[in-house]
Amino acid sequence: MGKKNDYSFCERVFAVVRKIPKGKTLSYVAVARRCGSPRAARAVGAVLRTNYNPMIPCHRVIYADGTSGGYNRGSIRKRCLLIREGAL
């Protein structure tokens, strides 16, 4: 995959995640599907790990089994944010 494809995939991931409403979550798999790459759930995680933009609520992306998963600002903070928003 070239730089242009990587960039467009990142932009698609961020666009999908921006649309997750407060109090709701999507799984990494669901984000990958909505980006048009249904087998790229791990790549979604890699993209979100690089996000430090507060306008992109990457804490709302969780594992398919319902557990919160990782977060680049700490898994405890992610869980607290999700509880405060009513998603957990």
Element (H, E) at 26: strand 26-27
pTM here is 0.89
Q: Which two tokens stand for residue 84?
A: 């405060």
The pLDDT of residue 88 is 85
Is position 80 annotated as part of the catalytic site?
no
10-31: per-residue pLDDT in tens?
999 999 999 999 999 999 999 9
- In order of their start, the domains of the chain are 3-85 (1.10.10.10)
Cβ 44 vs Cβ 86: under 8 Å: no
The number of beta carbons lying within 10 Å of the beta carbon of residue 68 is: 20
DSSP state of 8: H
From the candidates 10, 35, 58, 80, give the one annotated as an active-site residue.
58
Amino acid at 51: N
The pLDDT of residue 48 is 95
